[in-house]
Structure 1
Amino acid sequence: MLTTLLYSPQDNSLIQGDDSHIAQWQQSDDAILWLNIDGELTEPLQAMLKQTFNLHQLALQDASRDRHPPKIEDFGDHTFILLRGLSADSESINCDNILLAMFISERFIITRHSARSLSIERTMAALHAGDISLATGTGALSLKISRFVVKRYHKILFDLETRLEQLESVMLTTADDKVLAEVVLYKTDLTRLRRNFHYHVELFNNLRDEPSLPFDSALAHEINDVCEHQHRAASLADLFYQVASDLIDGYISISAHRLNNIMKVLTIITAIFVPLTFIAGIYGMNFEYIPELKNPYGYFIVWGVMLCITAVLIWLFRRRKWI
């Protein structure tokens, strides 16, 4: 589906429509066009974009894919940016990604996303509400979209922080394999997110260090702001990845410690009963002549010896602080 927003600086008007506004934009010298493509970037559509906006074929191929690493590329008269955003129904760390491609020139911005994008919808809503304006330029608009993209990541990361704190309290008191499985899944999801964030950090660092058209010096503060948001997301993902790793290691250590305590108790019980079993085994043999069997106090003597051995062993274990 194609959606266009045509901005006229002469009367500060903003008109929403379809691809029929492209011809009107071509006839104007100062109008700014936002062309949004929601869905597949077909070959006929690629051919139209290549001919009308002078977009490079390889960049169009990258924009048409559903899986591609984030990137930025300077084509002289326009800049190509490819981001990896969240799908519209992603509200937790177990999220799905969509590719968001942007072609930014001084007089046009073309966006393409393979599925519904809340970042695009929020930007369009802000334009219609007058919170932002295309009068500030297409570069500022693309940075606004990028900021919306990373802010959605911030939300799920902050939610994850709360959940990890809860799991930390649970894991210190309860050895539950379900809790461990949940933390392992979080670590897996964070691995994927860290990869995305580091791509984004490198992308916007390059844009800040070597700005391309239409990102001029007037947008330096906006670029720095987006860079800070990306760095924050990357640092949070790295931090929570380390926290998840520490929780897994801590869970394993606590489980091993509990197992060691259980084995220590069982070993002490075994150590106590070994000599008692030895004595019982001696006097349980079916020999006809065992002198102690004729002693009228033999039963009580054996019990006394067993109790003394038990007491001595318990005293010895306590002295060595084994129990």
Structure 2
Amino acid sequence: MQSYYFYLHQSENYSYISKTPIENQEAEFIWVDCTRDDVVNHAEQWQKNIQALTQLTLNEYHVRDILNLEHPCVFDAMDDYDLLIFRKLITPDDQIGMDENALEKHESVFGLATTPMSFIITPQILVTIREIGNKSIENYIARTETIVCRPIEEQNKPRKLASTPIDLSLRLLNTMVDGYLDLRVPLTRRVEYWQQELLQGHRRFTTWNQLLQENMSFQQVENLCEEQIDCLQELRDEIVENYTHLKGKKRADKQDLMVVRVDDLSSHIERIQKHTTRLRSAIQAAIDLHFSAVANQTNENMRILAIITAIFAPLTLLTGIYGMNFQEIPGLKNPFGFWVMLVVMLITTIILIIFFYRRHLVGRGEKSVIDMLAQQHRDQHVNLFWFMDYEPIKQTMKGVEKLTKFK
């Protein structure tokens, strides 16, 4: 447990931070940062310490909510304080203990785990309860420690310090949500990996169980974002309607600023939610393309088999007829019968190939799909006398007609 006292210089009108109370000066507000181990191991002693430091008595049900590791996002307004529980997605940068030796076990659903962070907010006090290893909060605390080490008159120069507990709470929430935005690149790479696995054609895709788990993890992120947006909306309503945590002459300006920050925070979460939705859609589109490709390959194989069957069916008929066991069959004893039958079978095969080619059933053909769909009714039938359209033959036929008329 560590405390930070935020002061406002009366004459110079700038803020500064101290880790210990300053005599004869009233702090604007106090930030008490606690780790979850302090609360879990010594819950009663922790409550006594909070009461001695802040004169704040916590509701026993709220203490149970804080101790509940799986508590969802919630905002509850009380007369003395407000409780905000915000679940954070555990990112690869975090060093939160999740092994067997951990004090509490974070449940991992579809490969993702979340951890709660609690905020107890009053007009002059902010109490935060976080996990050890929460890098976003620890980085913010490290920056605060750096500011404390500076001279008082230089603490507020690089970045304006928080002026109220709710202002500081929103800044801490913003650091956690910004960590989500860094997940967009690795999540996109995972989707690209699954797209390549689904659309490759040299081997069969078999890891459907892992792909389903990946898809459900995106659903979990969407549900988490939805909970966070609802929680922030309740906080915003409380700020707009009857928020007493803002004080001073510029209370209305501070209230508008807090509303803007809540809206900005909600917009960041909505961006993550929309990005996750797009990634899920990309995976679903890849799955649809995979099955379409499989179906197309199956149709192509069936088309080839059908063409082969159609070509060999007349040949099988001819060989079957002349393979019957009758004493007298026309041409059976003809010395040229075998070669005549081969020529007939060859001509039949050529005619069938030409027929299939003109119907665009063999090869890719020269027509596009649109042309094939828009072709006229006369093109649906094969023209066995297509060779009559050859120009020299046309000229010859015209000459024969003239001679006939002249006679």
- TM-score range, shorter-chain basis? 0.7 to 0.9
Contact conserved, 1:70 with 1:83, CA < 8 A, in 2? yes
**1:135/1:167 CA distance change after superposition, 3 Å:** closer
What TM-score do the two structures reach when normalised by structure 1? 0.81
Contact conserved, 2:32 with 2:126, CA < 8 A, in 1? yes
Q: Deviations over 1:213-240 (max 9, x none)?
A: 5366042222222122112112212222
**1:61/1:306 CA distance change after superposition, 3 Å:** farther
Match of 2:349 in 1: 310
1:148 and 2:146 aligned: no
Local SS of the residue matching 1:207:
helix
Q: Deviations over 1:84-104 (max 9, x none)?
A: 21225369x953221222222
Match of 1:199 in 2: 227
Q: Deviations over 1:66-89 (max 9, x none)?
A: 223211111233221122212253
* 1:194 to partner: Cα distance: 0.3
For 2:160 and 2:36, how far apart are their aligned partners in 1? Answer: 22
1:264 and 2:303 aligned: yes
For 1:288 and 1:282, how far apart are their aligned partners in 2? Answer: 10
1:38 and 2:36 aligned: yes
Contact conserved, 2:7 with 2:26, CA < 8 A, in 1? no
* 1:33 to partner: Cα distance: 3.0
Match of 1:279 in 2: 318
Local SS of the residue matching 2:116:
strand
Contact conserved, 1:123 with 1:145, CA < 8 A, in 2? yes
**1:102/1:39 CA distance change after superposition, 3 Å:** same
1:236 and 2:263 aligned: no
Match of 2:245 in 1: 214
* 1:307 to partner: Cα distance: 1.9
What TM-score do the two structures reach when normalised by structure 2? 0.66
Contact conserved, 1:180 with 1:251, CA < 8 A, in 2? no
**1:148/1:289 CA distance change after superposition, 3 Å:** farther
For 2:82 and 2:161, how far apart are their aligned partners in 1? Answer: 17
Match of 2:164 in 1: 137
* 1:121 to partner: Cα distance: 0.9
1:76 and 2:79 aligned: yes
Q: Deviations over 1:37-85 (max 9, x none)?
A: 2337438415742872322222222221222321111123322112221
Can you give the 5+ residue segments of structure 1 that lack an aligned partner in the other structure? 16-20
2:245 partner letter: P
1:300 and 2:300 aligned: no
Q: As a proportion of its length, which structure holds more helix?
A: 1
* 1:304 to partner: Cα distance: 2.2
Match of 1:65 in 2: 68
1:121 and 2:146 aligned: no
Match of 1:18 in 2: none
**1:301/1:133 CA distance change after superposition, 3 Å:** same
For 2:212 and 2:227, how far apart are their aligned partners in 1? Answer: 23
For 1:48 and 1:127, how far apart are their aligned partners in 2? Answer: 23
Can you give the 5+ residue segments of structure 2 that lack an aligned partner in the other structure? 10-15, 95-109, 148-157, 247-253, 363-407
Local SS of the residue matching 1:97:
strand
1:224 and 2:227 aligned: no
For 2:279 and 2:289, how far apart are their aligned partners in 1? Answer: 15
For 2:284 and 2:166, how far apart are their aligned partners in 1? Answer: 39
**1:162/1:48 CA distance change after superposition, 3 Å:** closer
Percent same amino acid at aligned positions?
Answer: 22
For 2:297 and 2:77, how far apart are their aligned partners in 1? Answer: 59
* 1:172 to partner: Cα distance: 5.4
Q: Aligned-residue CA RMSD in angstroms?
A: 3.4
Count of residue correspondences: 311
Q: Deviations over 1:82-141 (max 9, x none)?
A: 2221225369x9532212222222333222345631122122122123366765222122
* 1:297 to partner: Cα distance: 2.2
For 1:206 and 1:66, how far apart are their aligned partners in 2? Answer: 22
Q: Deviations over 1:10-39 (max 9, x none)?
A: 783432xxxxx8xx79xx963513222233
1:4 partner letter: Q
Local SS of the residue matching 1:269:
helix
* 1:270 to partner: Cα distance: 2.2
Contact conserved, 1:126 with 1:132, CA < 8 A, in 2? no
